[in-house]
Structure 1
Amino acid sequence: MVDLNAAPRANIAERKRQLVRNELALAAVTLLADQGFEETTVDQIVAAVGMSRRTFSRYFQSKEDVVVHLLAGAGAQMCAELSARPDDEPPAPALRHALSVFTSVCDADPDRTLHVSRLILDTPALLARFLERQSQWQAEMAGILARRTGLDPDAGLRPALAAGVALTAYQAALRRWVDSDGTKPMDELVDEAFTMITPALDLSTDPN
């Protein structure tokens, strides 16, 4: 017999898990911003939210994972946004619209985003995890671009290169935004970067 309540219960359980993850992530960001990455321990993070280390391990493997978790949802949204763009839209504006998922986060909560971004870019362990995430996003974005343009994602280089160039442009803009203490709108910095890279995002011809 099918349990009609199974899916709702599963959704509620996942929402609760997500709330705990977010609570841990916010506590971690606050401590890391005040104390620094190396000086902050997992024990301090769990103590800040009244949780045991054992419970922490159910959600995250390390303190690096806690911070990078804040990026995971935005990355999934970015790929979904790219997939939802009109089929006849050229790659450059489609990619730029998709990256608005990240720039809108900077605009919505600039202080916290600035803290998180500075931590990630200036901490080698976090930057490595961030780049690992970017690699995953690049692969997914390349597949989306290939489907949109009718290219073979396995045989052609251009979709992967276009996705990589777009993400590199975003990272360069993010670095400038952090270095300026958020004084220049992130959207303007990404627009400036895309003005420079747009020719490289043309997938109308594929030499492969």
Structure 2
Amino acid sequence: MIIVDSSETLGRRDRKKLETRAALERAALTLVAERGLAGVTVEDIAAAVDVSSRTFFNYFPSKEDALLGTHPTAGTELRERLAAVPAGVPSLEVLRLVLREEAERIQERREQWLLRLSVFERNPSLLPRLIAGGAETEHIVRTFLAERIGTGPAADGHAQLVAAVALAAYRAAVLRWSVAHGDPALPDVVDDVFSRLTAGLPDPGPLPA
């Protein structure tokens, strides 16, 4: 789940497009939360934002994509964030830094993301799309890390392991944050999860009496 927000560098027309896209996402999430996925059409979502169905399809191929918040430049944005981490930083730390930044962006839209996660939980038919998106993200991360580390089977295997472990840890953090209704803040949960990961995942001590 990569968020793209370049509104500060865009002109008025492009900012308006971002605002319309965000409004369509919010409307889709709100309506599906109220009625269920089967009870909401593209026409319903467009009407809630006072635009045409044709305008909706300028932004999203389907109502499911609106719920996911899929953005066509997300992959490029992720590569740029990964490449911005200075050389010499260990692979796991690279991902911790990038995923913590992602967590900060999600935290800024706390209510919308908690609603989105709730919608996902209540509509299992969205799961294949979530899995597909996660697989694409993992592929981007794995490829980047392999190129950063070097060539050869050892680099590829290590990149695959780090990508899988780090993204699983991040998903666990997001789930924990969602179950706790957004408290504590997601960046703090991500910090805690990665601290446990880098420590070798020791079992927690006994609870105080």
User: What TM-score range do you get, normalising by the shorter chain?
Assistant: 0.7 to 0.9
Question: Which residue matches 1:43?
Answer: 43
| TM superposition shift of 1:128 | 2.1
Mark the runs of 5 or more structure 2 residues left unpaired by the alignment.
1-10, 201-209
Larger RCO of the pair (alpha carbons < 8 Å, separation 6+): 2
| TM superposition shift of 1:70 | 5.0
Mark the runs of 5 or more structure 1 residues left unpaired by the alignment.
1-10, 201-208
One-letter code of the match for 2:139? A
Question: Which residue matches 1:144?
Answer: 144
Matches within 5 A, 1:70-85: 76-85=76-85
- Per-residue CA deviation, residues 183-204 of structure 1 (Å, 9 max, x unaligned), is 222122222222343378xxxx
RMSD between superposed Cα atoms in Å: 2.8
What's the secondary structure of 2:38's corresponding residue? coil
| TM superposition shift of 1:74 | 6.0
What's the secondary structure of 1:38's corresponding residue? helix
When the two structures are superposed, what TM-score results if normalisation uses the length of structure 2?
A: 0.77
Are the equivalent residues in 1 in contact too, given 2:27–2:48 (CA < 8 A)? Answer: yes
| TM superposition shift of 1:104 | 0.6
Q: 2:40 and 2:110 mapped to 1: Cα distance?
A: 23
What's the secondary structure of 1:88's corresponding residue? coil
Q: 2:169 and 2:153 mapped to 1: Cα distance?
A: 21
When the two structures are superposed, what TM-score results if normalisation uses the length of structure 1?
A: 0.77
Matches within 5 A, 1:9-158: 17-69=17-69, 76-152=76-152, 156-158=156-158
| TM superposition shift of 1:167 | 1.1
| TM superposition shift of 1:66 | 0.8
Q: 1:23 and 1:108 mapped to 2: Cα distance?
A: 16
One-letter code of the match for 2:198? T
Q: May I ask how many residue pairs the two structures share in their alignment?
A: 190
Are the equivalent residues in 2 in contact too, given 1:60–1:66 (CA < 8 A)? Answer: yes
- Per-residue CA deviation, residues 2-46 of structure 1 (Å, 9 max, x unaligned), is xxxxxxxxx887666544333321221222233333322222101
**Between the two proteins, what is the percent identity of the paired residues?**
33
One-letter code of the match for 1:172? A
Q: 2:33 and 2:116 mapped to 1: Cα distance?
A: 8
* Segment of structure 1 superposing worse, 65-74 or 105-114: 65-74
- Per-residue CA deviation, residues 130-159 of structure 1 (Å, 9 max, x unaligned), is 221111111111121112211348983221
